[in-house]
Structure 1
Amino acid sequence: MRVARRALAVATMLAFGMTAPMYGHAKAKIYTMLPNTALSGVVDPALPDRTAIHKAWPKQPANASQLKIGWTDITLGNPWFVELIKGARQTSAKYGYSVDVQVADGDLQRQCAQIDNFVTRKMDVIVVDPTDTLGVAACINRAVDAGIPVVTVGTTPDANARVLTTLLGNPYASGFEVGQYVAKAAGKDTPIDAAVIIGVLGNSTSESRINGLIAGIVDARMRERSPNASREDAMLRGFELFQTLKKTGKLSAPDIKFNVLGLGVGKWTEEGSLAATEDILSANGDRLNFILSENDFMGLGALRAVRNVGKQGKIRIADAAGGYRGELDQIKKGNILVTGENSGEQTGVAAIEFIHEAFTHRVDANNLPMGSGFPPAIITQSNVDQKIDPDPKNLFYKYTIPPIKSIPEIRAQATGN
């Protein structure tokens, strides 16, 4: 029975982008690097308790049935963020909560001013979609010191930020599964000569998605050559290759026939990716067979660039995260190979549902991990029809809201207790 429970625990952790260490052995090196900007979503099964961290929790609102929520977001510059806010507003209305949404337009100082304004107005809780993972921590902590709990969405902030948790698609695990699929689609002996389009260097979500994607390719190719290869070893090698990519704009792993020939910054938008991909195609178009894009909108921009030079079908596109309806249409047609699930609406709904559960004491919000990532899943041509929502109001895939797991629950999964 204990063996069966441990097997189930390991399977569960793999679904969440985690890997259990071998019992009685030293911790795998990759876990000693946490927290790290490029490892958001990777969870050390021995992660430390957060109960003693001052998070302005528990909070006694003036009226628990009419919570006042202050929400500061990076941008409303693409449909993901628009759907994020739509989901938050609709779910807030369901519970009778008020939500005041302010948009920082990517400006850290503006976001901090918005947080300070929410403090002055005595909001019951503040939601932050971080413009800057490091710089926003001090502004979040000012709110917490003033007695207002903070929840983050979309991007896990610096570990010094005393948030309750972060609601987000698991960026690393999503990328990892996409990378595994890319390697399978390429075939064992076909070189992967790729370009990478990342949203923003230095952003934990951006870096973790691409780092995970690289590690997924490495994992699949290492296992093809050595069935006993360790997942943690692949994660570590992928991390090291990603660091090389950041420094030099390229990476090379000839033993597993994997190269990245160019790195472009797409700023999470179709137009930004179009421009970045055009530059890379100009320099390396004759050698590329894959473009590894961080998100759906950048994947669509890359597809436009590839079409413009007559390379559609010759250069395949994989997105580490997404699920936008326009992207799903292209997956169905075979023009985009794969994407990891990441819905703006799902994230907005999950944030308000979590706040509701916390304030109604249905979940203990005082000992949660910094990042509460959704279980990763990929969308391919084989399952896209099941993912498309018949409701045209949902601009992304059909989704459910997963439960939030506490640190003790995560530890129990890791040990099989």
Structure 2
Amino acid sequence: MRIKRIFGIFASASAVLSLAACSVSTTPSGGDSGDKKTTGTLSIGFSQATQQSPFYVQLRIGAEQAAKKAGVKLNFADAGDDVTKQNNDIQDLITRGVDVLLVNPVDPKGVKAGLAAAEAAGIPVVTVDRPVPSGAAAHVGRDNKEMGRLVGAQVAKALGAKGGKIIEIKGDAGGAVARDRSAGFHEAVAANNKIKIVAGPYCDYIRSKAVTAVQDLIQTNPDVKAVYAHNDDMALGALQVLKENNRTDVKVAGVDGLMEAVKSIAGGGPYLATALNDPISLGATAVQTALDVQKGKKVAADVDAGTGLIDRDNAADYTGSTTFALAGKE
């Protein structure tokens, strides 16, 4: 198979568990008892950007599974895509007396106040998925530029020498993930000067926003040959609109390995490719890294959890009942 593997330190995958509907603190036993001072249990605070994307829902599950397995308490807070709330959440987690913080930032620069509060309290911070300019002991993520490059190469190959117009549906404005997924894709298609990329709006990785955007974009760009979205959820929104408008001739590609996309690729339709970004293993790696940092172990500044291409040649190997394709299925 034509896959690049760079698997990280904790990339074993486990089955998906049910997710509680509300943002509450959890313990290994599922309760909400006191902190380390009263229970003797090590405590991790996890401030997450949002739960509005399937990827972030699964990231939380991965972290919860790993914390339970390690016998540590995980205090969770959902910022709801509001950076002010996230800074307040981080302060609340500090007040609760957590030993180490995991932060998935809404805005890498906007969360600076929360990180400063953690530093003042002597609590180390590990970021996950989205890095920050400074203030973290380590970052756990994947090479998003490589993801964009892998998918871009497949799209360029499918379009061939004739090239054509590609609509790009972007993630979040100012985010490093969106920036890198865009840059990698652009690099991969740059060799063909007959490929033109039309910049679509930032849709915050949310399918419904992508649906609205693509409905307009295919009207103003009727000659479109492909749609590239910064995640599979948005790409599937684009695919929905294209099918409704009888434009199954337009190729689609995304990132993250969302199982719905993987099955579409395996089915041989217009969905060409995605890049592996298993959030379960990412959450597990983040928890393990946070524990290592808290214990004073030497940890790399950037922990790469690994990626790989999923296309028509190998999509069947990744097809399963999980929400995302699992890492480690070579």
Q: Which TM bucket (shorter chain)?
A: 0.7 to 0.9
Q: Secondary structure at the match of 1:289?
A: strand
Structure 2 CA distance, aligned partners of 1:65 and 1:376? 37
* 2:207 equivalent to 1:277: no
Q: For residues 368-401 of structure 1, give each alpha carbon's deviation from its aligned partner in whole angstroms, at most 9, with x where no partner exists.
A: 33x4333331100110121224xx3x31112149
* 2:117 equivalent to 1:142: yes
Superposition pairs of residues 183-332 of structure 1, within 5 angstroms:
183-187=156-160, 189-218=161-190, 221=191, 256-285=193-222, 287-312=223-248, 314-319=249-254, 321-332=255-266
- Per the alignment, residue 26 of structure 2 pairs with none
- Per the alignment, residue 85 of structure 1 pairs with 60
Superposition pairs of residues 17-416 of structure 1, within 5 angstroms:
66-157=41-132, 159=133, 161-187=134-160, 189-218=161-190, 221=191, 256-285=193-222, 287-312=223-248, 314-319=249-254, 321-335=255-269, 336-359=271-294, 363-365=297-299, 368-369=300-301, 371-389=302-320, 392=321, 394-400=322-328
CA contact (8 A) 2:43 2:100 kept: yes
CA contact (8 A) 1:65 1:95 kept: no
**Runs of at least 5 residues in structure 2 that lack an aligned partner in the other structure:** 7-35
For residue 322 of structure 1, what is the amino acid of its counterpart? Answer: D
**Runs of at least 5 residues in structure 1 that lack an aligned partner in the other structure:** 1-13, 17-60, 223-255, 402-417
CA contact (8 A) 2:156 2:163 kept: no
- Number of equivalences: 296
Structure 2 CA distance, aligned partners of 1:216 and 1:132? 27
Structure 2 CA distance, aligned partners of 1:15 and 1:165? 22
Root-mean-square deviation over aligned CA pairs? 2.2
For residue 118 of structure 2, what is the amino acid of its counterpart? Answer: A
TM-score normalised over the length of structure 1: 0.67
Structure 1 CA distance, aligned partners of 2:147 and 2:105? 20
Q: For residues 101-143 of structure 1, give each alpha carbon's deviation from its aligned partner in whole angstroms, at most 9, with x where no partner exists.
A: 1111011110000111112222100111100011112321220
Q: Which segments of structure 1 move beyond 6 Å, counting only runs of 4 or more?
A: 61-65
Identity among equivalent positions (%) equals 24
Structure 2 CA distance, aligned partners of 1:100 and 1:274? 34
Structure 1 CA distance, aligned partners of 2:304 and 2:50? 21
- Tell me which structure has the larger Cα radius of gyration: 1
CA contact (8 A) 2:142 2:307 kept: yes
CA contact (8 A) 2:285 2:305 kept: no
For residue 184 of structure 1, what is the amino acid of its counterpart? Answer: K
Structure 2 CA distance, aligned partners of 1:344 and 1:93? 17
Relative to structure 1, the CA distance from residue 400 to residue 147 in structure 2 (aligned partners, 3 Å threshold; closer, same or farther) is farther
For residue 143 of structure 2, what is the amino acid of its counterpart? Answer: N
CA contact (8 A) 1:169 1:342 kept: yes
Q: Could you tell which deviates more after superposition, 326-335 or 122-131?
A: 326-335
CA contact (8 A) 1:388 1:396 kept: no
Structure 2 CA distance, aligned partners of 1:324 and 1:261? 24
Structure 1 CA distance, aligned partners of 2:256 and 2:76? 23
Question: How far off is 1:63 after superposition?
Answer: 11
TM-score normalised over the length of structure 2: 0.84
Question: How far off is 1:358 after superposition?
Answer: 3.8
CA contact (8 A) 1:169 1:341 kept: no
Question: How far off is 1:262 after superposition?
Answer: 4.2
